[in-house]
Amino acid sequence: MALPVQKQLLYWGVAAAVFLMILWSLGHVLLPFVLGGAIAYFLDPVADRLERMGLSRVAATGLITIVGILIFVLMALLVIPTLVNQALQLVNVAPDYSRSITAFLTERFPSLLDDSSTLRQSISSLGETIQSRGAQLLETALSSVASLLNVVVLLVIVPVVSVYLLLDWDRMVARIDDLLPRDHADTIRNLAREIDATLASFIRGMGTVCLILGAYYAIALMIVGLQFGLVVGFVAGLVTFIPYLGALIGGALAIGLALFQFWGDWISIGLVAGIFVVGQVVEGNILTPKLVGSSVGLHPVWLILALSVFGAAFGFVGMLVAVPVAAAIGVVTRFGVAQYKDSLLYRGLSGRKED
C-alpha cells in the first residue's frame, strides 16, 4: 500500500530542502564535481556511439579522453594566451575609447556635452572605471594564490571526475533506476526521459551551437582585422544559449569597436556587421533546427529567471545547475497541468458525466 499523499509530499519536500542546503553550503566544493558531471553527460552519447561501433566502454572513454587532452593542450598553447592578452588590452584601452566617444559627441552634439553635463561626466568616468575595475578583476583572477590553486584543482579534479562518471554512466543510471519507489517508477521514468530529452536538446545542442558560433565569430572577425576579435567571438558564443542575446551583445561590441578602428572604412565596418548577420541566419536556419530542435521546452524568460535566481542564491554553481533544474521544473509543471486537466477539480461533475 502506497504512503499517503501528505507524507510523500513531506518526504520529497525535505529531500528538496536538503539538496538546496547542500548546494548553498558546499557550492565551491561541489563546483569540480558539477562540471565533471556536466562534461560526462555531454559526452555520454559519443561514448554510446563508439560502443555501438564495436569499442568497449573503457576503450571509448579512453579514446574520448585522449582527444579531449589534445584539444585542451592546443587551446592552452594557442587560444587561451591570446584570449587573455586581448581581454587585458581591451580593458586598458577603455579610457581611450571613452575619450573618443566624448570627442565624437562633442563635435556633432555640443549642446549635449557641456562641461557640467551629467552625460559628459558619465562617459569620461566610464573608461577609467572599466580600466580600474577590469584590471583589478583580471589581476585578481590571474595572480592570486587562491585563484591559481582553484584553477589547478579544477584542471586536475574535473577531468578525473569526468572520466570516472563517463566510464560508469550507464551503471549509475541503472542503480538509480533500481532505487526508484516502485509505485511511481513508471511515472518517474517517463518524466526523466522528458527531462533528458529537454536537456539533451538544450545543453548538448546549444552547447554545440555556442562552440560553432563562437569559433566562427572569432575567426571571421580576426580575418577582417578587428583588434579584439577573439574576445568578441568568445563573448558572443558564450551567451548564444540565450536567444538573440549573444548576437545583440557580440554585434554591439564588435560594431562599436569597428567604428573606432575602421572609422571611414565603411567596407570593413560593413564586413563586421555582415559577419553577425550571416551568423544569425546560419544559426536560425541550420544550426538550431538541426542540433537543438524546434521544441526545447525552455522559454528564454524562464531560463533567464532561473539563471538569475540560482546565480544570486548559490553563485556560479547555482548558474550551472539552473538549466537542469529549470528543465526538470518545466517538465514536472507540464505533467502537473496535464494531471490537473484530467482531474475532477478541473472538469467538474459535468466533465465526469460526459465521460
How confident is the prediction along the chain (355 residues), in pLDDT tens digits per residue? 556 767 777 877 888 888 778 777 776 677 788 888 888 888 888 899 999 998 899 999 999 999 988 888 887 777 767 776 776 666 666 666 666 666 665 665 555 555 555 655 565 565 556 555 555 555 555 554 445 456 666 777 888 889 999 999 888 988 988 888 887 788 888 888 888 887 777 777 778 888 888 888 888 888 888 877 788 888 888 777 666 676 778 788 788 778 777 777 788 888 888 888 888 888 878 887 777 665 455 677 777 788 788 877 777 677 777 878 888 888 888 888 888 888 777 777 665 545 4
**Contact predicate 72/231, CB 8 Å:** no
Angle, nearest 10°, between helix axes 229-238 and 245-261? 170
Q: What is the pTM of this model?
A: 0.65
**Contact predicate 31/151, CB 8 Å:** no
Per-residue b or e along 24-41, where b marks 16 or more CB atoms closer than 10 Å to that residue's CB = eeebeebbbbbbbbbbbb
Shortest CA distance to 170 belongs to which of 317, 258, 8, 44? 44
- Output the CA torsion 251→256→260→265 (10° steps): 50
**Contact predicate 208/291, CB 8 Å:** yes
**Contact predicate 269/262, CB 8 Å:** yes
Shortest CA distance to 323 belongs to which of 342, 310, 312, 336? 310
Per-residue b or e along 142-181, where b marks 16 or more CB atoms closer than 10 Å to that residue's CB = eeeeeeeeeeeeeeeebbebbbebbbebeeeeeeeeeeee
Q: What gap in Å lies between CA 40 and CA 164, rounded to an integer?
A: 9
**Which residue type, as a one-letter code, is found at position 39?**
I
